[in-house]
Amino acid sequence: MSNNRTLMSLQKLYAGPDVLPTSLNRPFREALRSYATSQALQFSEDSFGNNYIARRDRDTDIAPIAITFPLDGGLSELKVTTAFRVFSLLSEVSLPCNLVLVGWTSLGSQLIGRDFWELSGTAPSYDVPSQLLEFQEKASPKNVPFSAIFEVSGENGTPLRIGGSPVLVEKTRKLTTAQVDVRQSQAKAIRAPWISITGSGAEDLAIEAIKEYSAYIVALFDNFD
């Protein structure tokens, strides 16, 4: 995002005094849609209320890399601001793989939108919370693939931590000489590998990791072509 005032405005709507942890943040959601329109970005919403923002000028057969944040409840203002900064900076770079900014529907402390995105790829049916029934006529998240999922939270003065799927963790770890707490997930990724990068320097490291993984994914795709 190039306009700091726009980011500040979004922050106020995201974590304002009227935001409830168990309700959809409608003002923030509407502001995201308006932001996408003002920046000539593509905006879409799936049947569980997840929001997707991407550049219109990218058309590729390769699934995009997602930069994600919790959409509702004011769960993490840092994740929102870091995600927008990383997305904005990388939007100015010619990446081999497309990039998408993803807001997961979040109720309470649960990223319920991400849970349903994962389930949609394998489960034929599931119970939908009443808060999400209004979205059911929209496209299913099973038709929204990602090559990788990045969650980033930059906080100065805190230790740098990397956790997630082994392939992403190993590639990211090699991009920094800083001391880092590394934790690989033993659980198999259901639909896409994921990584969480938090702490001091997380934003810069995420940018380099996305560049690296984008080139890696395209090279794999070319080898199978």
CATH number for 93: 3.40.630.10
What pLDDT is attached to residue 57? Answer: 63
* Count of positions (residues) in the chain: 225
pLDDT tens column, 116-173: 999 988 877 778 899 999 999 999 999 999 999 999 999 888 999 999 999 999 999 9
Q: How many domains, in total, are found in the chain? A: 1
Q: Which domain holds residue 13?
A: 4-224
What pLDDT is attached to residue 58? Answer: 59
**Residue ranges for the chain with pLDDT beneath 70:** 1-3, 57-60, 223-225
Residues 109, 74: Cα–Cα separation, whole Å:
10
Q: Which long-range contacts (CB under 8 A, 24 or more apart) does 52-60 make?
A: 52/100, 52/101, 52/102, 52/103, 52/144, 53/87, 53/100, 53/101, 53/102, 54/98, 54/99, 54/100, 54/101, 55/91, 55/98, 55/99, 58/98, 58/99, 60/97, 60/98
What pLDDT is attached to residue 6? Answer: 80
pTM over 0.85: yes
Residues 21, 107: Cα–Cα separation, whole Å:
6
